[in-house]
């Protein structure tokens, strides 16, 4: 059993606590999996595949060792292509409009980097059980042109990718930025002008 390699699926994982469970390929009770047993200490997610070996400890209990993630459901090739395309779009548009103004490129670059490291730091703190960065703070940085950094960080660190409230807000922010570019490039600020007009009417009422 010690030299045999097994393959199984992560069925639960407690993010921030560093452990979860896999289906037992031999049947019986689910197998306990700790972050320290995974090569590279990369935290898995539910549905990820793991290749590992089994051994018997001093108490006669079967334990996992030498585990390695062999497939990341959030890191599939198509998912990466889609993410890079979406995250890279505002940079391409910023380069196209660079002669008009350099600010979009500067903002996306600076705030995107900030969002990336906010996600990285929050993931590390979650694993260590330390104080977390609030979702509101991350969303504010995303709104202020940092959302591409969040998309890339989610793919690398598998962090908050399946947290529906967080993901819903992120998608809405991306939609707002796409709307901004459509308004800026194709509608000659028509949407922005109408929003400003509406705000002025509300303020005078």
Report the pLDDT value the prediction gives residue 71, as an integer from 0 to 100: 59
The angle at the Cα of 56, spanning 55 to 58, to the nearest 5 degrees, equals 140
CA 132 vs. chain centroid, Å, equals: 15
Domain 5-71: which CATH number of 2.60.40.10, 3.40.50.2300, 2.40.50.140, 2.40.37.10: 2.40.50.140
What does the buried/exposed string (b/e) look like for 10-30 if buried means 16 or more CB atoms within 10 Å of the residue's CB? beebebeebebbbeeeeeeee
Range(s) of the chain covered by CATH 2.40.50.140 = 5-71
pLDDT in tens, 38-75: 877 777 777 778 888 888 877 778 888 888 887 555 44
Count the Cβ atoms, other than its own, within 10 Å of residue 145.
25
Q: What CA–CA distance (Å, rounded) separates 65 from 47?
A: 19
Report the pLDDT value the prediction gives residue 17, as an integer from 0 to 100: 79
The angle at the Cα of 139, spanning 43 to 192, to the nearest 5 degrees, equals 145
Report the pLDDT value the prediction gives residue 108, as an integer from 0 to 100: 97
| pTM as predicted | 0.66
Contact 105, 141 (CB under 8 A): no
Count the Cβ atoms, other than its own, within 10 Å of residue 99.
7
pLDDT: is 46 or 150 the higher one?
150
């Amino acid at each position: 059993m010690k030299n045999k390699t097994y393959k199984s699926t992560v069925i639960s994982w407690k993010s921030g606590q560093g452990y979860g469970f896999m289906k037992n390929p031999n049947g019986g009770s689910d197998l306990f999996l700790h972050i320290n047993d995974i090569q590279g200490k990369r935290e898995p997610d539910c549905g990820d595949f793991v290749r590992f070996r089994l051994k018997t400890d001093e108490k006669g209990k079967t334990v996992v060792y030498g585990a390695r993630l062999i497939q990341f459901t959030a890191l599939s090739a198509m998912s990466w292509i889609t993410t890079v395309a979406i995250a890279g779009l505002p940079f391409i548009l910023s380069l196209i409009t660079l002669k008009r103004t350099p600010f979009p490129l500067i903002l996306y670059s600076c705030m995107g980097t900030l969002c990336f490291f906010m996600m990285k730091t929050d993931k590390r703190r979650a694993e260590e059980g330390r104080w977390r960065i609030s979702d509101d703070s991350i969303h504010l940085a995303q709104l202020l042109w940092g959302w591409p950094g969040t998309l890339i960080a989610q793919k690398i660190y598998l962090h908050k990718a399946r947290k529906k409230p967080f993901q819903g807000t992120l998608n809405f922010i991306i939609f707002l930025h796409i709307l901004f570019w459509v308004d800026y490039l194709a509608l000659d600020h028509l949407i922005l002008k109408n929003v400003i007009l509406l705000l002025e009417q509300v303020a005078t009422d």
